[in-house]
Amino acid sequence: MLDQRLVRENPDKIASELGRRGKAVDLTRLQVIALKQRKLEEERSGLQAEGNRIGKEVGQKIKAGVDPKGEEVAELRQQGNAIKQKVAVLEEEEKHLSTQLKEQLLTYPNLPSTDCPDGKDETDNIELRSWGKPRHEQGLAEHWEIAEHLNLFDTERSVRIAQSRFVTLIGQGARLERGLINFMLDLHTSKGYKEVLPPVLVNSASLTGSGQLPKFADDCFRCSEDDLWLTPTAEVPVTSLHRDEIIPADQLPLRYAAYSPCFRREAGSYGRDTRGLIRLHQFNKVELYWFAHPDQSAEAHAQITADAEAVLRALELPYRVLDLCTADIGFSAQRTYDLEVWLPGAAAYREISSCSVCGDFQARRSAIRTKEGKATKLVHTLNGSGLAVGRTMAALLETGQQSDGSVVLPKMLVPYVGCERLQPE
């Protein structure tokens, strides 16, 4: 959430920065609300201070021997009661304005970093680096064709169980998915991440704190009888792991690796990637998440990206890193590095991880602070997929495919899957 002080004091900066995202906003009305709310807050605080002074004076007079039921004390108490009534009225007005202000602010995305490249769409993203040698051969199969040949998953029966865009992994497919999850978690925990297994159901406060609500309500699955939603990413529950807390500065950064199933409606994406593992309503993901000191934010962004890259390198999967432009970064992000893995069968790079620094945007929404001495400030949060498991499987199948129909697995994965290659069963 954006800083209310910035709305009051420099709305032009907000308008200018959101303009870099391609969003035209007029903050005049919001600034009026913010200024009025602040004025009421100052007036209320002044009255409360005066009421406290009067209460103290009453106590002192009674202690000095003045009649508690006398005219002098009664007059002071009358003044105090009048102030309480005024404070109650101001509190109600202030609450109303504060609600209006917060509801509007929750709809605005984060301001992009000054280092985030300007752009109008994804074609303006900048390639920073690449790794590995992509396969370029005629006649390579796409992952869903390979999976069908090896009987790794079943989509037709999954429609019977649920609906389209769900998949049931079978045999070697299920074992490969499980192996990938364990491999990723082991790799990240060996680098100092603390493993967490968060709830799959999350409340509205958790979704709001991470920036999913109200913006992405249509993309989420909701339980109709409770204030619970199926999590779209482990970023949501892990953000709320420290909601309304003060983290001592000497404990930062806190680094978590969280596996979770993820659920998304993928509203507006129908007709795209309808076959295979790329765009499902339910998929598995290992998420990397940092709570960092504001001074460590840029360094943490480089490191979380390197930690996600380490998975691709260990699995011998060629990839590239993109610096996303202002028009392409996510709602909560200040800056994002996308990792795109090469899919030989599709002859294209596809996103497999977005590593984002969010500044204090999520921390303000979730009231997550740190304290140094007497000073309290908001932490910075960062997140990145380490990695999306289904897309990793797709890349492995296409990269390791052989002319005899088998799929050779990378050496690092063999102990987790129990074989060197997948073959028809």
The active-site residue out of 243, 279, 320, 421 is 279
Strands 254-263, 194-196: pairing kind: parallel
Q: Quick check: is 313 catalytic?
A: no
Own/partner pairs, 403-408, CB within 8 angstroms, 24+ separation: 405/149, 405/150, 407/146, 407/150
Q: Is the pLDDT of residue 292 over 90?
A: yes
pLDDT at 108: 96
How far apart CA 21 and CA 24 sit, in angstroms, is 9
Site of tokens 């069963």:
425
Choosing from 165, 264, 335, 365, which is the catalytic residue?
264
pLDDT of 64: 83
Confidence class for position 75, pLDDT limits 50, 70, 90: confident
Which pLDDT does position 181 carry in this prediction? 98
Residue 69 has pLDDT above 70, yes or no: yes
pLDDT band at residue 268 under the 50/70/90 scheme: low
**279 catalytic, yes or no?**
yes
Report residue 273's pLDDT band, with 50, 70 and 90 as the boundaries: low
pLDDT digits (tens, 9 = 90+) for 356-405: 999 999 999 999 999 988 889 999 999 999 999 999 999 999 999 999 99
In the prediction, which pLDDT does 267 show? 58
pLDDT 10s digits, 114-135:
999 999 999 999 999 999 999 9
Would you place residue 276 in the very low, low, confident or very high pLDDT band (cuts 50, 70, 90)?
A: confident
pLDDT digits (tens, 9 = 90+) for 21-33: 999 999 999 999 9
Q: Is the pLDDT of residue 269 over 80?
A: no
- Annotation says 351 is catalytic: yes
Average pLDDT of the residues in 330-341: 98
| Given the residues 38, 44, 165, 391, the one annotated as active site | 391
User: Among the options 351, 369, 406, 421, which is catalytic?
Assistant: 351
Separation of alpha carbons 3 and 51, rounded Å: 31
Name the phi and psi angles at 170, rounded to 5.
-130, 140
Average pLDDT over residues 196-213: 97
Residue in 235, 251, 252, 258 with CA at minimum distance from that of residue 299: 252
| pLDDT above 90 for 300 | yes
Q: Could you tell me the two tokens for 289?
A: 């998440």
* Residues pairing with 388 in the sheet: 285
Show contacts of 360-365: CB within 8 Å, 24+ apart: 360/3, 360/294, 361/1, 361/2, 361/110, 361/211, 361/332, 361/334, 362/209, 362/210, 362/211, 362/239, 362/332, 364/1, 364/2, 364/3, 365/1, 365/106, 365/208, 365/209, 365/210, 365/211
Mean predicted confidence (pLDDT) in 402-413? 96
The pair of three-digit structure tokens given for residue 58, joined into one six-digit string: 């009453």
SS3 at position 222: strand
What span, in angstroms and rounded, lies between the C-alpha atoms of 214 and 202? 14
| Cα 249 to chain centroid, rounded | 22
Exactly one of 354, 356, 366, 385 is catalytic; name it: 354
- Are 418 and 398 contacting, i.e. CB atoms less than 8 angstroms apart? no
- Domains of the chain (ranges, CATH numbers): 4-105 (1.10.287), 122-422 (3.30.930.10)
> Would you place residue 270 in the very low, low, confident or very high pLDDT band (cuts 50, 70, 90)?
low
